[in-house]
Structure 1
Amino acid sequence: MKKSAASLLVIILLFSLLSPSASAEAAEPIVKVKLVNYLGNKSSITIKPTGDYIVQESNTRLLNGKSYTIKYENQDQLTLLDGTSTIITTDQLHVIPLVETNFLSINDRPYLGSFQFVSENSKYVRPINNVYMEDYLKGVVPYEMMDGWKREALKAQAVAARTYALQRISRIIDDSINYQVYAGYKWLPNSTAAVEETRGRVLKVTNYYGKLVLADGLFSASNGGKTESNANVWGSTALSYLPIKDDPFDAQANIKWQFTVQKKQLEPANKTWSQMNEADAAIAGKIKSWMASHGYAGKELKLLGIPVLGFHTPKSGGRISKGDITVEFITKDKVDVNGAYVPQKLVYTDVPASQIRAMVGIDKMWSYLISNITETKDSITVSGLGNGHGVGLSQWGAQKRAEAGQNYSEILGFYYDGASLIQEYNERPIFTAPTLSPVESVTSGEQPGKEQTESLIEDTTPPIISSVSINVDNVKNKANLSFTINEASKLTLYIKDNQNKKDYVLENDPLNAGNVTKEIDLSSYVAGKYYFGIITVDESNNRSSALPSFEIIRTSASTTKTPTPATVKPVPAKDKTAPKISAAKVSVDNVKYKGSLTFKTNEAAYLTITLKDSRGKTIKTLKNYSYTKAGNIKQDFDLASLANGKYTVAISATDKSKNRSSSSSSFTVIKKAKTKTGKVTATRLNMRASASTRAKVVFTLKKYQNVTILSTSGSWYKVKYSTKTGYVSKAYIK
């Protein structure tokens, strides 16, 4: 996540003008997200609606399940195509769902909400997703924090992410680590529950004027055991709720990193350009990429060495701020009179550490909290702690705190010192479907040139809920809800408490127009204030809602009076027992690269099964919230893409009463190395005693002979032919 000091000041001043009561009345906001991370840069994309959508510019309906193409055209125009037929060419497209729950797949990734498609850099099609905050967060939390982690850690992440997004609600953010990773409508159950259980809650602090203002929900993967100030990272004014302090729980996570660079990267003597390969290919590639955008664009580069690499000048949080690096290199276009490449050098002294991190790669240097630098005559090794900037919430620290029994408010209280949890909003605005003109534009299935014989008049009027009345009988523990509806609809009814927890009573229950009366059992609810959530949806999917309140009062009469046997009605006991997972076991076939998980469940449940690596990162979802009958379960999976090492299969089971249990089973992948062979491409190829052109020739190979490749050493292979073993140049082995 990046941060601008100027934009932060503007946002703080804006929120300082709003009173707490005004913000509490706010409706759920819409987040604008530019889709970059998963989509990349594409001049043509495919969209596929699930449920119908309207293209605002052309008065056209996009049909459920049908694929369409949006292409960039010259002069910053976009063309929407149905197959090969052009629907419209325009500078931007607005695509809006007819029903709130419809979703649009863009290059096979689903997204809720509406969309704006624009041209970008006179080259690409760029979608901007307009999505409700809570739906956005359900696509953020499991991709910023592992879904299998503790619920309280995920709830802390949900509040931080909501606060962070609300701080930036007036701008268009993107779906990458520049802001928050957003994967669209690919939700996972544990994190979805965490978002729902914290709905509308954000962090606020008291500003200089005594007003409650929105905090900034900054977070990183790990602070390495010590939190950092925003001032040290971004140079902005230090915020009191983001102080520097020790974090013993993050330290328990022991997130460490290390990378090594060779001082000498290659020796160009007696080698062609294609034969020269740096000793540290990954780091050399990052440095060359950085150089290409800093004065060496279009140049072919090779690194000769990195003789100097160091860091210094720590700030108050212990993280370094400055560094030195020297890069020796050659370019293909610069040779002397003898045709030899001319050595060149870049020397950076006392430059920002961020520049050096960008040069070597953030995938190598995870943070600025450096613990050790070791230098030998041949190499330099840099070691450090944590992952990310260290400001605000630590994700690993939150998980360790949740494992120790802390709830999400306690976790947030540590990372955002003095901040308060505030209910910013409760309900979502009523969705209003877009309308078409009386005659639709030609779409799939219509024949151009034929007169349309029927006009489509869209019903856009939601049902009207009126005369709502609630009568609570605190003795019989019942409530009678009545209201009037003006048209046939489907009714969804839930009870919500003051903590925003919802208990659904009815879902999509058919209603006729007229008076409606429902009797609801309240015996399982404690005393307090509650709300009936009434949602009605008509045949055209127009939606209306109401949220009347009522109060349950527990008196001696209501708790001690026992009805006579003739009047007692049995009340089903609320299921509070989680499903039982037993006998979880993984068997592995390291020859066929297959794995099989077996376990038992004692009741039908929604199962999620994920495959995790040794660090707990989810690398594959084998089953995603799939309803499964009780009994013996078997789940096969493929090991071909896994490296050798230890893995865990995590199982989550959730029954219909939302009770959840989990289990796991570990296994080890040990693959036998496959024999690698190659064919000689040179007429004669010397096999040498070591990886050097000066080494003794031990055998001479001929063209088309096959060799067994034993190992790799820079630009050399160690090979075996018959009984002979030696080193040959990679360039002559195919």
Structure 2
Amino acid sequence: MGNLKGLFLAFFIIFAIFPSLEANAAKENATMEVKLKNYLGNRTSVKITATGDYQTSGGEIFIKAGEEMKLNVESGKLAVYKDSDKVGTWASLTITPVKGDALLSLNGRPYHGSFLFTVAGGYIRPINHVHIDDYVKGVVPKEMPALWHPEALKAQAVAARTYAAHHQSKLIDDTISYQVYGGAEGDSRTDSAIEQTAGLVLKHDGEIIEAFFSSSNGGVTELNSNVWSVGNPLGYLSIQQDSYDPKTKWAIKLDKQQIDLSNKDLSKPDEWWTSVQEKDKTVVPHLKAWLKRNGYANRDIKITKVPVLSFAGKKTGGRATKGSIKLNFFVRGLVDKSGKLSEQQIELTDVPASKIRGMVGSDVMKSYLVDDSASDSSRIDVEGSGYGHGVGLSQFGAKTRAEAGQTYQEILAFYYPNTTIAREYGEASGIIEEVHINNAASIDMKADLDYVNDKVTITYSLKEDAAVSLLIKDGEGKTVATPISDQSLKKGSHTAVWKANDVRTGTYAAVVSARDRSGNEARGTLGINISKGSAPMITDIETMGDYSTEKVNIAFTINEDSKVAVEIKNSQGKMVGVLAERQFTQGSQSVNWDFGNISNGLFTVSISAKDGGGNRKTVSAQVQIRKTTGIVTARELRIKEKANSAANTIGTLYEDQALTILAQQGKWYKVKKGSQVGFVPKKHVKK
């Protein structure tokens, strides 16, 4: 045993004197290659200035500190001008700073590192060779506001550096296809976060991970394989509830009929084309742009209807994977044989949800996490949560976690479980700095809020016997209550009660720490939103059925701005109608329920209103549906537009067909069959 110990000590001394080849390689290979497209755009002329001298690959000074030069594309090559004098022409040009702290500005934006200038597609396309931490300093303030909490900025810095290191062997660009990179236009706060985490990356099984991140996950993280159909699930990503994500909301509210064609002469479109516009100003422009990219370039388009927009195929994380859409539209100048505008139609059924999102606009449909959707004869409503794919780090979730007192290590531990933090670059390359709390060492928690008794019941589970403490912290990280203090508890499920009567409305964090006999510690943190306001009041509920339209108007009054949802259940308690939650202002409001496909009976209407503080109130009312049905006794029965035999015929019924009797007008019944509403002689219908 002693000999082995001596051998190990000698081995350690040798490697302490001679750093590992892996460490040296990491230090030498610490640069990124970034093609500049985002800020620069497509330019045939670029102005460059420098704060220090830059030399060409041949060693000649190309530009001196304080000088200004211009690059122009001429005959597919780079022509360089100083003042009005042409310095030379190159097919490509490489320049490197003589001193490492020099900055080269392109059209006013400064960059660290060296440059390879090329011409691609007729435009100047620089490639910036830059140290990875200088690259990250140009990324973080573009991806996360520099005013956010320092711990959130550090978490973003490590994630951005990890993402960069994972892609280090390839040429990337400065757009959202990878990470937005803004050169040396950084910020002192993000620079500090990057310097405090210098060289740190995330690893799983010794390999640098693919550190995905998005703006908001909508309250639940997602697997990579559920979002992108290629590739297997990664061991450091998981589906889990994220109570700290603010659940960024988005909504699509779309009229199915965009243009009323009832008074439009399709043979004379020039008389009305320019004066008629679609109702929607949010989704329709994206749909038109998609049509122009897919076969209708440079054509003038009017979208008349959007009869279908729906999502399906939800995976375990709750995100839609499939979508369907149907468009009716006119193309100016596209007419049929009679010279009338020819209505075009495109229908996509169960295609990837990403295709539908690309059609309606990613700034409109901000994620694939669809919470509610509803469609009636006139309108489509789709509501969802989150902004982006939801895989890995939630930027808004990181912000809230940091504000609740979590460190950047704890933030990264949640979003990238089963990973370690390693210093990949710098003097101590290859040394693991800190092991994350993985899933096995974390504590699952949930909270039940009782606003009536002003208490919160917190449930948590221990995997082994431990000494447990539970702290409640406010938004500034200050401890406001200690329901449990260093109490010895057995493994299994436990509950604790926090009396919240002494705290104000706000976001709080319940922090459980459990220490086993060996001193190992597991932690769990749960965000809790406390609202001291009272629930909304819903009054003056009235339900009125209109059998001619087969709709029930549900009227009510709310005393404050709230999100309102309506559910309709039959006498057996089965859901037969849902009107998706949407925002209403205080005062008198109403919604319509289409009962065209519903049988007679007594139905319960439940109206729920939730205010901005999360307080919810639900009230109920009943509505009786009594449709009168009849059977056609004539061999052939024509439906008339009016209760008059001379009126226009709008449809035909046949013997033994069933119909709905809406009303009686003299010797005529007002009836409905399918979508047709008209009049038939009473004598030819048997109730």
The amino acid across from 2:158 in the alignment is V
Contact 1:24–1:423 (8 Å) recurs in 2: no
**SS of corresponding position for 1:354:** helix
The amino acid across from 2:189 in the alignment is N
* Aligned positions, number: 405
Per-residue deviation at 1:357? 0.3
CA distance in 1, matches of 2:167, 2:402: 28
Per-residue deviation at 1:366? 0.6
Paired position in structure 2 for 1:205:
204
Alignment of 1:144 with 2:143, yes or no, is yes
The aligned runs of 1:447-466 (5 Å cut-off) are none
Superposed CA offset, 1:395-445 (max 9, x none): 11111111111111111111111100111121499xxxxxxxxxxxxxxxx
Q: How many percent of aligned residue pairs carry the same amino acid?
A: 43
CA RMSD in angstroms, aligned pairs only: 2.4
The aligned runs of 1:697-716 (5 Å cut-off) are none
Rate the CA distance shift 1:66–1:343 in 2: closer, same or farther, 3 A. Answer: same
Per-residue deviation at 1:282? 3.8
Rate the CA distance shift 1:57–1:295 in 2: closer, same or farther, 3 A. Answer: farther
Per-residue deviation at 1:331? 1.3
Find 1:239's aligned residue among 234, 253, 259.
Answer: 234
CA distance in 2, matches of 1:274, 1:427: 68
Alignment of 1:188 with 2:187, yes or no, is yes
Paired position in structure 2 for 1:280:
280
Contact 2:421–2:432 (8 Å) recurs in 1: no
Contact 2:38–2:174 (8 Å) recurs in 1: yes
Per-residue deviation at 1:259? 2.2
The amino acid across from 1:140 in the alignment is V
Higher CA-based Rg: 2
Unaligned runs of 5+ in 1: 1-19, 207-211, 430-496, 501-734
**SS of corresponding position for 1:340:** coil
**SS of corresponding position for 2:251:** strand
CA distance in 2, matches of 1:499, 1:323: 45
- TM-score norm. by structure 2 comes to 0.56
The aligned runs of 1:651-670 (5 Å cut-off) are none
CA distance in 2, matches of 1:63, 1:24: 35
Per-residue deviation at 1:265? 2.2
Contact 2:244–2:401 (8 Å) recurs in 1: yes
Contact 2:421–2:433 (8 Å) recurs in 1: no
CA distance in 1, matches of 2:65, 2:273: 55
CA distance in 1, matches of 2:421, 2:111: 29
Paired position in structure 1 for 2:375:
375
Rate the CA distance shift 1:247–1:22 in 2: closer, same or farther, 3 A. Answer: farther
Q: Which has the higher contact order (CA 8 A, sep 6+)?
A: 1
CA distance in 1, matches of 2:279, 2:21: 61
Find 2:254's aligned residue among 243, 252, 261.
Answer: 261
Per-residue deviation at 1:22? 5.0
Per-residue deviation at 1:498? 11
The aligned runs of 1:51-90 (5 Å cut-off) are 51-56=52-57, 59-74=60-75, 76-90=76-90
Contact 1:119–1:125 (8 Å) recurs in 2: yes
Contact 1:224–1:255 (8 Å) recurs in 2: yes
Contact 1:320–1:353 (8 Å) recurs in 2: yes
CA distance in 1, matches of 2:339, 2:236: 62
Rate the CA distance shift 1:43–1:340 in 2: closer, same or farther, 3 A. Answer: farther
Per-residue deviation at 1:95? 2.1
Alignment of 1:331 with 2:326, yes or no, is no
Paired position in structure 1 for 2:585:
none
The aligned runs of 1:3-402 (5 Å cut-off) are 23-25=22-24, 26-27=26-27, 29-56=30-57, 59-74=60-75, 76-121=76-121, 123-206=122-205, 212-235=206-229, 236-250=231-245, 253-267=246-260, 269=264, 271-336=271-336, 339-402=339-402
Contact 1:302–1:330 (8 Å) recurs in 2: yes
Superposed CA offset, 1:623-656 (max 9, x none): xxxxxxxxxxxxxxxxxxxxxxxxxxxxxxxxxx
The aligned runs of 1:590-629 (5 Å cut-off) are none
Superposed CA offset, 1:558-593 (max 9, x none): xxxxxxxxxxxxxxxxxxxxxxxxxxxxxxxxxxxx
**SS of corresponding position for 1:154:** helix
CA distance in 2, matches of 1:337, 1:262: 31
The amino acid across from 2:138 in the alignment is G
CA distance in 1, matches of 2:381, 2:22: 51
Select between 96-105 and 56-65 the one with higher mean Cα deviation. Answer: 56-65
CA distance in 2, matches of 1:92, 1:300: 42
CA distance in 1, matches of 2:222, 2:341: 46
The aligned runs of 1:456-605 (5 Å cut-off) are none
Per-residue deviation at 1:298? 3.5
Per-residue deviation at 1:153? 1.0
Rate the CA distance shift 1:333–1:54 in 2: closer, same or farther, 3 A. Answer: farther
Contact 2:216–2:247 (8 Å) recurs in 1: no
Rate the CA distance shift 1:72–1:313 in 2: closer, same or farther, 3 A. Answer: same
CA distance in 2, matches of 1:341, 1:80: 55
**SS of corresponding position for 2:283:** helix
CA distance in 2, matches of 1:84, 1:152: 50
**SS of corresponding position for 1:397:** helix
The amino acid across from 1:43 in the alignment is T
Unaligned runs of 5+ in 2: 1-18, 266-270, 435-687
**SS of corresponding position for 2:118:** strand
The amino acid across from 1:159 in the alignment is V
CA distance in 2, matches of 1:154, 1:37: 23
**SS of corresponding position for 2:313:** strand
Rate the CA distance shift 1:107–1:379 in 2: closer, same or farther, 3 A. Answer: farther
Paired position in structure 2 for 1:420:
420
**SS of corresponding position for 1:94:** strand
Per-residue deviation at 1:23? 4.2
CA distance in 2, matches of 1:346, 1:317: 30
